[in-house]
Structure 1
Amino acid sequence: MKKKLLLLLIILLYNFMYARTLVVEKGGNGEFFYLRNATIAAKNGDVIIVRPGIYYENATIRINSKNIDIVGAGYDSTKIIYTGDWVPFYFKDVSNCKLSGIDICSMYDKSQTLILIQHSDVIIENNKIHNSHNLHGISIIDTSNPVIRNNIISENEETGINISCSNGEIYNNEIYSNKLYGISVSDSSNIAITNNKVYNNKHTGIIIVNSKANLKGNECYNNKRYGINSNGSSLNIIGNKVHTNKQAGIFIFNSKANTSENECYNNKLHGISIEHSDFDISKNRTYHNKQVGILLIKSNGNIYENVIYENELHGISMEISNPDISKNRIYHNKQVGILLIKSNGNIYENVIYENELHGISVTKNSKPSIYNNTIYNNKSVGIKISKKSNPTIKNNIIVENIIGISVIKASSAKLIKNLVWGNTNKKQWNYGGKNYNGIAKGKTDICADPLFVDKKNYNFLLKPKSPAIGVGEDNKNLGAFIHQDREGVNTDAESIKER
């Protein structure tokens, strides 16, 4: 073993000591007129410098089983136009190569991917990669592990960066106006996609299929379908800005996803859409989307500590799902704060206010537990129950809606220790204002002003003399702030932050 390590050290030292610098120059002052000829002549460890100029290459530049660096003068100065019928750059079975500082494009329709990386570890940096006429800007296959950074990748016939059966890091790139995807990952693991701008692609910004990936700090916008899309994958989506896409901002299907600290807004459909998936959605801001802030279909997981507001339909909508929804602030949505259709789950410690229709709507055989929420000044019903639904409603504060709790259409509800007050002064939708409609006041419910600290400025902490302190089930406070003490201090560090 020691002999093998010594031999490897000797080889590396030899390469370092005897590495050459080869020069490609358009005007004839270099050793080579064509980059391809320089790569054929290069040996392990050599560096090829490509001087400023426009170079036409009609044959593939193959880097096979030797580690060399190819360094242009910058993509504003050094340009390679490929006139052949396959790929301009092909890296195979290399472990320490770099390609940087070159504008790379193709001239004719017969060419395919601009950079093909197979079973290799390569650094691709500071290039402009554009106008492939058949396939991708960069294609990464066969257990490769490249670093792709600080490139501009645009206007390729299919995908900007296509990754299959590989690992790698993709960061600080600008990827736009490709005719299919900005970044596509399939059958891969340990993919890190960080701080890229991905926009104006003709389908989806970033798509992950049957893979494991971490997406962090990217901005995905103005894509023709989704900003981020996952199918059959396991991924972390953290701290991205996803906006103005033509369908959903983030669409997760048949996947496991941790979606946290993202900002999703102005998308033509939903901010975040989850179908047939397990999820954890936390600390996101979803707003100004043309339909729903967060949509769930046949999915299970947790939605907590999000801020969801001013969406054109609902804040959260779910069908045939069983989530835990907690500690969110949901307000000013054009219809319902939280809509449940054929769904169960737990809804607790949320602040839900001033939505244009209901605070919470429970319909079509739904049976959730709704507890310790503060539901204030929604324009119709605080909690509406319909179509054979039967929720448990306890420890909530439901105040100053048109109707506090409404039960209709063969439905029922179990009411335990709620504060229902002040839902009596308005008329809308042909309802007279009242605390209860279609159901009697709960035997343990109370009717009193909860004494919020400053409801006009949406501070729903309770004043020390509030009748909602310590009177709930298990002596908890009513409403969302169950850990607030009688001095008005909120002792739960994870509780909802004030707007």
Structure 2
Amino acid sequence: MDEKYLRYVRQNKKKIGASIVILVFLIAMGIFILYAIKSEYSPIPLNKKVYVAGDRSGDFNCDGEADQVEINQALKFVAETPGYNTVYLKGPFTYTINSTIYMQSNTILEGDPDAVIKLVDHAGWTNSPMIPLIGKYGDSEITDVIIRGFEIDGNHDNNTDRSKGRGYYNIIYFTSAKNIKVYNMYMHDGHGDGLRINHGKNIQFYNNKIYKLGHDGLYAIECTNVKAWNNTITCRTNSGLRVWNSNHVKFYDNIINSTFDRNAGGPGILIEKTTGVMNDIEIYNNSIHNTFGPGLWLIGYDSSYPKKEAQNIHIHRNTFYSTGTNPSINWVGGIVTSGFYDTLIENNIFDGVYHAAVIHMYPDGKVTDLSPAGTGHTTTVRNNIIVNTQKRTENPDGTGYAVINYLPETHSFVLENNCLYNNSAGNYKNASSTTDFYADPLFVDQKKHNYHLKSNSPCIKAGNSS
């Protein structure tokens, strides 16, 4: 090696060492900043908040009238200002709105549990439906939105100019939406849906309390990757959770029931198909009880479709009790299904449901023809416990069985290793099994709906393990 070069290195080694240290430091800082920008858990405060208040302590301050004006100003600010993405509603204040709150992409609307957005009395948004309390700004796709932590009061009783379930005053409604999260919310007393998404992807709805809305708690239309869990929902007019022509759906760990009045709702969960593919849907670990309609309604109808477009729905480890209380319709029960192929219903508990635990049927006499197209629809029912079924109130004759098939020409059951006991009319109507057994399952405390099995239960290790 050149002696002159070596002499230079010896004379300048401190400077060279310092330069290397500085270079390494700059590289490390670049990597750190890049990570901070990309990471959801950035230690750099890039996602700053602005506060909305009702006592002049916020960045934007409301006076209890037309409060959507200031909230929309705050949302516009965080959408357009680098480093900001969150609007925080301070409590304990009620923010009265007489027009829509508009969300934009990459924004968060959150608040204290005692921060309340409330629809104004006599809002008069009756010129057209589908004008929500919270919607999106503009017509382009909305992405990466979070709504969490506060209360929304739909103020139904002071806005009776429109009927429930007609698209008026939905709580949250987005079209063309992706990466939407709604959680830790309390939504109640509305005319329409809690969260309605039309043409969406990656929708998460969890840890919400939904009470007496005018339509569905969650309604996903032509969506993919929809999850709803840990919600407590009391239906008033329609379903707790509903998907229509949607796929890759999971509903789990929810508690769903109905309030008792003359419009006390339909099914706890509704899975509905007319077009598109629905072959990856899982419903599990839900507690569904005292619903006016069936606990779960699974229905495919309209024009004929290939088997692969409506199959492999998996319903398991749910508890249904006292579902189907509606005295005015006949399509009540635990699970009512038609039009789907290769449905698997397993390891569920049905106690005291009206009509039957599992039924092949569809409602007739509707404006829309709900009859299923095609033949060869098979439902496998295995390892379930079905006890104490009751006759339905509407036309009770011939009801009260464990399993009923009203569509034997196009639909069939495969019944395996179910435990059946004390069903008022018997066990089967247009169905049969060679492996079901008939014994008291010996629940720990059935009256308190503790459906764990006692150690001497005949159901332990009695199911099909496949």
Contact kept in structure 1, 2:60 and 2:70, CA below 8 Å: no
Say which of 202, 214, 221 aligns to 1:275.
221
Residue 317 of structure 1 aligns to a residue whose secondary structure is strand
Structure 1 Cα separation of the partners of residues 218 and 320 of structure 2: 19
Contact between 2:53 and 2:89, CA under 8 Å: does it hold in 1?
no
Flag structure 1 segments of 5+ consecutive residues without an equivalent.
3-94, 105-122, 148-166, 426-432, 476-499
Label 1:382 to 1:96 Cα distance change in 2 as closer, same or farther (>3 A): closer
Aligned position for 1:207: 135
Tell me the equivalent position of 2:59: 124
CA RMSD of the aligned region, Å? Answer: 3.2
On the 8 A contact 1:220/1:228 being kept in 2, the answer is: no
Tell me the residue number matched to 1:414.
414
- 1:124 offset after TM fit, Å? 1.6
Counterpart residue number, 1:53: none
Q: Deviations over 1:362-394 (max 9, x none)?
A: 112443210000011111111002355311111
Considering Cα pairs closer than 8 Å and 6+ residues apart, tell me whether 1 or 2 has the greater RCO: 2
Alpha-carbon offset, residue 178 of structure 1: 3.3
| Equivalent residue letter for 1:438 | N
Tell me which of 73, 76, 84 is aligned to 1:138: 73
Q: 1:132 to 1:314 in 2, by over 3 A?
A: closer
Q: Whole-Å Cα distance in 2 between the matches of residues 264 and 296 of structure 1?
A: 17
Structure 1: distance between partners of 2:427 and 2:53? 69
Question: Any idea what SS the aligned residue of 1:466 has?
Answer: coil
The residue identity in structure 1 corresponding to 2:338 is T
1:160-183, Cα deviation, whole Å (9 max, x unpaired) = xxxxxxx333332656443321x2
Summarize the Cα distance change of 1:130–1:374 in structure 2 as closer, same or farther, 3 Å threshold.
closer
Hey, what does 2:11 align to over in structure 1?
none
The equivalences for 1:252-291 within 5 A come to: 252-255=197-200, 256-277=202-223, 278-291=225-238
CA–CA separation in structure 2 for the residues paired with 1:102 and 1:455: 49
- Structure 2 contact 251–282 (Cα < 8 Å) conserved: yes
CA contact (8 A) 2:267 2:297 kept: yes
Q: Pick one of 130, 145, 148 that aligns with 1:216.
A: 148
Which one-letter code corresponds to 1:403 in the other structure?
A: Y
Pairwise CA distance, 1:143: 2.9
| Distance in 1 between residues matched to 2:145 and 2:457, nearest whole Å | 48
Q: What is the aligned counterpart of 1:350 among 313, 318, 325?
A: 318
Q: Which runs of 5+ in 2 are unaligned?
A: 1-21, 23-46, 124-130, 156-167, 259-263, 301-309, 326-331, 362-371, 390-399
Is the CA contact 1:185–1:211 (under 8 Å) kept in the aligned structure 2? no
- Indicate the structure with greater strand content: 1
Match of 2:464 among 448, 463, 473: 473
Match of 2:450 among 449, 459, 462: 459
Shift of 1:280: 0.9
* Alpha carbons of structure 1 residues 97 and 358: separation in structure 2 relative to 1, 3 Å: closer
2:299 paired residue among 341, 346, 349: 341
Q: Does the 8 A contact of 1:253 with 1:276 survive in 2?
A: yes
Whichever of the two has the greater Rg, that structure is 1
Return closer, same or farther for 1:102/1:316 CA change in 2, 3 Å cut-off. closer
Structure 1 residues 362 and 221, CA gap change in structure 2 (3 angstroms): same
What SS is found at the alignment partner of 1:456?
A: helix
TM-score (normalised: structure 2): 0.65
Do 2:188 and 2:213's aligned partners in 1 also have CA atoms closer than 8 Å?
yes
Number of equivalent positions: 335
Q: Separation in 1 of the partners of 2:72 and 2:64?
A: 6
Which residue of 1 is the match for residue 366 of structure 2?
A: none
1:123-162 superposed Cα distances (whole Å, 9 cap, x missing partner): 7244548569999862626732587xxxxxxxxxxxxxxx
Does the 8 Å CA contact 1:267/1:289 hold for their aligned counterparts?
A: yes
Amino acid at match of 1:189: N
Aligned equivalents of 1:438 and 1:350: distance in 2?
A: 25
CA distance in 2, matches of 1:296, 1:421: 33
3-state SS in 1 of match to 2:170: coil
Match status 1:244 vs 2:244? no
User: Does the aligned pair in 1 maintain the 2:341–2:378 contact within 8 Å?
Assistant: yes
TM-score, normalisation: structure 1: 0.61
1:296 to 240, 243, 249: 243
Q: Which residue of 2 aligns with 1:405?
A: 403
Query: Residue 296 and residue 382 in structure 1: after superposition, are their counterparts in 2 closer, same or farther (change >3 A)?
Result: same
SS at match of 1:138: helix
CA distance in 2, matches of 1:416, 1:206: 48
Measured after TM superposition, the shift of residue 192 of structure 1 is 4.2
